Chain A
Amino acid sequence: MKQILAGVETEYGLLVEGRGAENQIDDAQALVRAYSGPCFVGWDHRYESPRADLRGFTEKALRFDPEDAKFDVGRARSADSEIRSDRVLPNGARLYNDHGHPEYSTPECLSLHELALHDKAGELAILRAARAYSEQSGREVWIYKNNTDFHGASYGTHENYLIPRSLGFEKLYAAVTPMLIARQILCGAGKVGSETGGAARYQLSQRADFFTESASVDTLYRRPVFNTRDEPHANPADWIRLHVIAGDANMMPSCTSRKVGLIKIALELCKRNETPKWDIPDPMRAFRDVSRDEKREYRVELRGKNWTTAYDILDSYLCAYDSVFDEDESDPELRQVVLECRALAEKLRSGADVSHDIDWAAKHALLAQYVDSENVAWDDPSLRSFDLEYCNIDPENGLFAALAEMGSVAPLPSTEELEARLRQVFEPTRALARGLAVSKFGDRLMGASWTSLTFRGGYDPLEVLLPPDREYGSQLEATESVESFIDNIRGA
């Protein structure tokens, strides 16, 4: 089975000593520019189309949060490309300032394991940029890998999956939406309290409070459970890039690979027309109900006054995958996801401890310990600070890092493994070509994007497209000129 190409993009939370949200765009810009690792400066935005909708139309404009507009009153801003300050890394990743959040977009990966390592390597890149910026500015800088500020603002961790255009919106929506709702029980990052709707003590998901639509192209305001942005970053006649915005930022690499693996399972079943049929009339409510269910029953309302549970939705996909793909045909990593998810769901259902393997449960256990030992209530404001510090990516201060040091969560990759992923990508994807263009031919590189590379030529620029479905082999590493590099990519 050919694996589905995927990537994860994380917008990090940023707090700078003595500064506020009104300074955040300037601070994130300066932070990204402080990154001192090898990189190419620039990004080619020509192929971007964030307003195009999978349902066949283009929105006139995307919605913006009116609260954010207040931060910008009376402020002049420079050009978008200056603000974004894009850096392309030698592993093919993109580091930039996205609406005031330092963002790391991983290189495209086929392997779940490699993708989770690259997501974790992104923390290292952002941490180094933050430390450099702190030194330059003389201000303390905190970076949080989370998705909420507890005051009503949310920022995303998005997953991207390259899939055939022939699948179309209807089939994708039916295949993916139930999984988005159900998978939070095995992948959620956990959150103290709620920011919209009724009160909640503790939730599975950082994002559940922020969905107001079942499907739409928006991401900044009135967010949907299923995002319909149609921006394939590849030939649009052949490809859709499924843009998942409903997931959480995970500290555990195992949660990252699990959340991506579960969507890949849904997509593989969709390709075979074997998707389990779940008719969920109100996905926003279902998402929120599962997120807030502290009884861990995780009921989901179905059309016709029936109901099911997130456990049964997950199980239906896992059983279908087992049934449709035999051992020779299936992706070994996805088979492992099936086994692991089945075991974890069973533990969760039986009330056993899953804090070693799931972010929300590890955070919950940490907070429960504090609540018990200090005799404070769950609505004590300090608990939100502990929630935040669980997601602090500085290993000297972060509470998740403390749990990892103590062996209370699954072991983390070594710094050496992450350093190696920042230097290059070990996947035969187009990220390899992009990364090599930076490391070998950076002096002639004029522009890079997910879709193409452009080099300075003799008279005119030389552009080479990066088809996403071909294998980029190690022979690219041996090329000695831009021209032979381009020929190699073109298969000449």
Chain B
Amino acid sequence: MFDPDRLTRPASPSPDKKLGDDSGPSKPDIQKPEGGNELLKRMKKVDPDQAKRYRQRSGE
């Protein structure tokens, strides 16, 4: 059953942790996408300045 007392307390696993602690999960082991060379080829076609000239009106 859902227990609201448990859920409104600071999170486990370390109840002694306070805000500002530097400890945290280690860096995830991200795997690179497969077919990297093909992807890099496509990335190299991207105009590196595209974002610089991309200006938009604000929307909602």
Contacts and interface: CB of A to CB of B under 8 A. Distances in A.
Nearest to A369: B32
Contacts of A355: 30-31, 33
A139 interface: no
Nearest to B35: A406
B10 A307 contact: yes
Give the secondary structure class of A's interface: mixed
Contacts of A301: 19
Given A150-B54, A274-B2, A384-B51, 8 more contacts: A151-B56, A153-B55, A219-B60, A312-B7, A351-B27, A386-B46, A389-B50, A402-B39
B48 A221 contact: no
Give the secondary structure class of B's interface: loop
29 contacts: A11-B60, A71-B57, A100-B56, A100-B57, A142-B50, A144-B54, A155-B56, A155-B58, A158-B60, A276-B2, A279-B8, A305-B19, A316-B2, A352-B28, A352-B29, A365-B31, A368-B30, A369-B32, A369-B36, A369-B39, A373-B36, A373-B40, A382-B46, A384-B51, A385-B46, A386-B43, A388-B50, A399-B42, A407-B34
Nearest to A313: B7
Interface residues of A, number: 86
B39 to A, nearest CB: 6
A381 B52 contact: yes
Given A381-B49, A385-B46, A403 B33 contact: yes
Interface of B: 1-2, 4, 7-12, 19, 24-36, 38-40, 42-43, 45-60
Contacts of B43: 366, 370, 386, 389, 399
A153 B54 CA distance: 10
A373 B43 CA distance: 12
